[in-house]
Structure 1
Amino acid sequence: MSGLEDLPEDIRAMAARMAMPDFAEWQKQVRSTGACANPTRMRGHRTVIDAVTGEVLDHYSTDDEPMGYRLVRCGNRRAAVCPSCSQLHRDDTYQVASAGLAGGKGIPETVAEHPAIFATLTAPSFGAVHARHKNEGRDGKPLRCRVRRNAETCPHGVVMSCRERHGESDPRAGGALCPEYYDYAGAVLFNACAGELWKRLTIYLRREVAATVGLSRSALNKVAKVSFFKVAEYQARGVIHFHSVIRVDGPDGPETSPPVWATIDLLEECLRRAVAAASIDVPEPANPNEAVRAMRFGTQVDTQAIADVGGGITSRNVARYIAKYVTKGGEITGLPPRRIKCLDALHHLRLPAHTERMVRACFVLDAMPAYGEVPFRRWAHMLGYRGHAATKSRSYSVTYGELRNERKAHQEAERRQVEGLPARDGREILVDAKWRFSGSGLARGEEKIVDGIRASQQLVRRIGVD
């Protein structure tokens, strides 16, 4: 350890960890978790017994480990929290989305012939905001924010126009041009209603399809099935919008062919009518006891046909797009990945002004009796949104659970082979297991080691070598 006194404290802590006698086993377990950034430490045992003969097929106990515990993945889907576990979730999402568009994982490849569209549903406007345009102008610079020749002036004297070009690091992007004129309560209410609004949309879409082809809803179920896979994304202004795959199958799902009347044009037409019809009445924040407001999707509905040949967006690109956003949360708005339990926490979080106002709106709405059933405070760190990052119809494709079980079985078979244990050969087994939580996270000095292991595993993944 000579000379380490002059090194930074983190480096000294890392060197001390590497010098510990259990480092080799710890490193091995870190690799088995995929270099999880926040692993859980578990203590306990597992014994696998042949249910017929009583033979012990396998026994494992953390008492036999040099560290006395076992590291387990945290399983967090957010890339900002755990790059490793989020990548695994992203890969699973890609498989789920891709199987429903091109086949695989038990879904026939003929599903690629079924009419399907990729739709983006946005939120309505709650006031003018600064925009960061991804497209570039002729000069190679981002387009100007909000150019309006005859821009209106809000009651507070702010002109609703901005000729600046906001880059990737500009904190004003997504913020209101006039915070006093922006409807923060309405934006939070939309986020809170977004999940239920999506549910109603799926109901109305099926009704529109049935009405368009001259069938009752019960009769439609006998000839066709409409399935979905939806992912939620935060816009820079802090409101949710949805990206969704919508597909028409035969009555038994992707294994059966859709009727001849099921076309891309029909799907797009019915979707636009369903979006216009879907709404939820909620108490008006300014006068909750006497007035209601209809929460709806925005009028901008983008749809693209999904087709690997003949134009449209490819199934591979759609699957990548959905998988990309399933690992994201509200990071684009500056939100923390954990709950905001009280307003006093805002003094330490230092959120962007626009995001902070939305968080405060959550606490204000939570205190109003008219919204007593909606826990706005609990979901302040999500700006009121309390839905899932991704949802799908049961018949869309393979489930996440099936993918995890398949991976678990494969890893278990590999482990038994490496340890020289006999294959189970489909035998009926009994499992006696008892586990207890013993902490989570990494000690000081371990973070940089885990980051290095993760980087090497990602490099191996990219170049495709073992």
Structure 2
Amino acid sequence: MAHLSDTDRDVIRLANHPQYARWLDQITATGGCAHPVHLSGHTTTRDTRTGEVLHHYDTTSEPFERLPVRCRNRRSTVCEPCSRLHAGDTYHLVRAGLTGGKTVPEDVRHHPRIFATLTAPGFGPVHRANNGKRCNPRRGSGQCEHGRALGCGLEHGDADPLVGQPLCPDCYDYAGHVLWHAHAGRLWKAFTDNLHHHLATRTGQTRTALRRTLRISYAKVAEYQRRAAVHVHAVMRLDGASGPDEPPPPSADASALADSVRSAAAAVHLTLPYHPALGEHELRWGVRLDARPLRADGGPETLTDDAVAAYVAKYVTKGATDTGAGLDHRIDNPAHITTAPVTPHVRTLMATCWHLSSLPELEPLHLRAWAHTLGYRGHILTKSRVYSTTYTALREERAQHRGAHSTIADDPGTVTESQWRYAGSGHTPGAALIAAGIADDLARNREVARDASNTATGGAVGTG
């Protein structure tokens, strides 16, 4: 008989378990989550008037006496099923802020809206994929002080591993790159503060008067470029002072908002205190900035609401690993940096984080804890309070739709007592193989259903 692998033996063990069918139901309920969290405990619902037990659930009757739940990790490299669900939630969250729905009035589609991209500045020349043009053309054959060419006359394709790498690593400002990442949150705050001032000037109002008449709502997502620098995509909308229920004044249109975004970003300057080992760094946004109005009536040159929502949803599931710009887990010691499966450029950025964290003046930045993200400490997606719904509300809506909330638990005449504890996470080798198969089947079923819907409606449907 052929030798069985550990995975094969584990599959056989699971298949022979007396509660195998129930275990399959549990894994299917998690969507085939690749790294589920296992809980053990119980929940009891009683009638508050009589004390009668109306419902009791205990994991002692479950397979392996535990209940698996989704890990809810947004990164596709960690858990594809959960990242797909997170992308769907993001799509609906962003789209609701553009077209209404999910507690947002539908009239917001007629409010001024733009899609803006803010980039990091340059920290040194890097190789570029330049649409079939030469990378960094330069007259003459000048060299930097380290003996490397100041330009590059090659044509790089998108898949060329040189793209994003510095022409001269010794000339590259690695400290500036890391410090810019560490202060990206402050830069965004300075930008949004400036934006109110610049929009007020452009519409002929004082800043105080502007805040009494309108509100700027947004949802933004951070993305790593090939040069391992973060840039920000933001959907921005102008509302009246009370929020999305009220339109802004006529003088504040999409064109005024787009122009104000450009001037407000250019005006941001954040000067860090001088340090003997680092010199002085002035942080600002990059000169490459895009701000495109979104119009409800569409048009050949207009981004559609669905396309923008799908674009943001696509990038929210990407981790630093997807672009080769870091790792999806924290680094415990510097030896892990030398063995990390990243480019020399990214490895140097990680090492710079580790080194700078030893400087007392930079200790509040906690750069060592964020070395795996190259110093960037922000959330991948953030939004203003009234832009649209929340992830929590979307999850609750989905749970109610699937019948996860019983009518007994929702009865005001009942009380529910629960006690849960963490009982581990992840899969055994055989369970991981079965869960991956379930996840693939569910994904295939969604594709079939989506294709059928497209055929019936004659159009495309959104992510989720």
Matching of residue 355 in structure 1 with residue 346 in structure 2: yes
Instruction: Work out the CA distance in 1 between the residues paired with 2:419 and 2:409.
Output: 21
* Closer/same/farther in 2, CA of residues 314 and 41 from structure 1, 3 Å limit: same
Helix, strand or coil: the match of 2:281? strand
Q: CA deviation at 1:307?
A: 2.0
User: Which residue of structure 1 aligns with residue 93 of structure 2?
Assistant: 96
User: Which residue of structure 2 aligns with residue 399 of structure 1?
Assistant: 390
User: Which residue of structure 1 aligns with residue 195 of structure 2?
Assistant: 205
What residue identity is the alignment partner of 2:346?
Answer: T
* Closer/same/farther in 2, CA of residues 200 and 61 from structure 1, 3 Å limit: same
> Does the CA-based 8 Å contact 1:99-1:398 persist in structure 2?
yes
Q: CA deviation at 1:55?
A: 3.6
User: Which residue of structure 1 aligns with residue 285 of structure 2?
Assistant: 297
Q: CA deviation at 1:405?
A: 1.9
Q: Deviations over 1:126-165 (max 9, x none)?
A: 01112235x4x4xxxxx54333345752211211322334
Instruction: Work out the CA distance in 2 between the residues paired with 1:151 and 1:372.
Output: 42
Matching of residue 229 in structure 1 with residue 214 in structure 2: no
Instruction: Work out the CA distance in 1 between the residues paired with 2:360 and 2:97.
Output: 43
Matching of residue 389 in structure 1 with residue 380 in structure 2: yes
What residue identity is the alignment partner of 1:395?
Answer: V
1:79-158 to 2 correspondences below 5 Å = 79-133=76-130, 135=131, 137=132, 143-150=133-140, 152-158=142-148
Matching of residue 307 in structure 1 with residue 295 in structure 2: yes
1:165-244 to 2 correspondences below 5 Å = 165-244=155-234
User: Which residue of structure 1 aligns with residue 337 of structure 2?
Assistant: 346
The partner residue of 2:318 within 319, 323, 328 is 328
Instruction: Work out the CA distance in 1 between the residues paired with 2:142 and 2:213.
Output: 52
The partner residue of 1:282 within 272, 278, 288 is 272
Helix, strand or coil: the match of 1:222? helix
User: Which residue of structure 2 aligns with residue 419 of structure 1?
Assistant: none
TM-score by length of 1: 0.91
Instruction: Work out the CA distance in 1 between the residues paired with 2:115 and 2:234.
Output: 6
> Does the CA-based 8 Å contact 1:175-1:354 persist in structure 2?
yes
Instruction: Work out the CA distance in 1 between the residues paired with 2:274 and 2:425.
Output: 44
Instruction: Work out the CA distance in 2 between the residues paired with 1:388 and 1:26.
Output: 35
User: Which residue of structure 2 aligns with residue 447 of structure 1?
Assistant: 432
> Does the CA-based 8 Å contact 1:39-1:73 persist in structure 2?
yes
Instruction: Work out the CA distance in 1 between the residues paired with 2:140 and 2:386.
Output: 50
Instruction: Work out the CA distance in 2 between the residues paired with 1:455 and 1:172.
Output: 34
Matching of residue 372 in structure 1 with residue 394 in structure 2: no
Instruction: Work out the CA distance in 1 between the residues paired with 2:230 and 2:192.
Output: 17
Instruction: Work out the CA distance in 1 between the residues paired with 2:148 and 2:40.
Output: 61
The partner residue of 1:251 within 231, 241, 252 is 241
Which has the higher mean CA deviation after the structures are superposed, 217-226 or 360-369? 217-226
Q: Deviations over 1:366-411 (max 9, x none)?
A: 0112212110000001100001101111011111221122222333
Which has the higher mean CA deviation after the structures are superposed, 271-280 or 76-85? 271-280
TM-score by length of 2: 0.91
Instruction: Work out the CA distance in 1 between the residues paired with 2:425 and 2:194.
Output: 45
Q: Deviations over 1:392-432 (max 9, x none)?
A: 11011111221122222333x3675xxxxx65664343220
Helix, strand or coil: the match of 2:365? coil
Instruction: Work out the CA distance in 2 between the residues paired with 1:144 and 1:14.
Output: 54
Helix, strand or coil: the match of 1:303? strand
Instruction: Work out the CA distance in 1 between the residues paired with 2:155 and 2:20.
Output: 51
> Does the CA-based 8 Å contact 1:116-1:247 persist in structure 2?
yes
Structure 2 unaligned residues grouped into runs of 5+ = 453-464
Q: CA deviation at 1:444?
A: 1.6
The partner residue of 1:427 within 409, 412, 425 is 412
Cα root mean square deviation, aligned: 2.1
* Closer/same/farther in 2, CA of residues 222 and 408 from structure 1, 3 Å limit: same
What residue identity is the alignment partner of 2:94?
Answer: A
Q: Deviations over 1:316-353 (max 9, x none)?
A: 11101111111112111252211012111123324210
Aligned length: 448
User: Which residue of structure 2 aligns with residue 140 of structure 1?
Assistant: none
Q: CA deviation at 1:23?
A: 2.4
Q: CA deviation at 1:119?
A: 0.4
Q: CA deviation at 1:94?
A: 0.7
User: Which residue of structure 1 aligns with residue 441 of structure 2?
Assistant: 456
Q: Deviations over 1:280-315 (max 9, x none)?
A: 222456645xx5322100011111111242432111
Instruction: Work out the CA distance in 2 between the residues paired with 1:185 and 1:151.
Output: 28
Instruction: Work out the CA distance in 2 between the residues paired with 1:6 and 1:460.
Output: 34
Which has the higher mean CA deviation after the structures are superposed, 156-165 or 101-110? 156-165
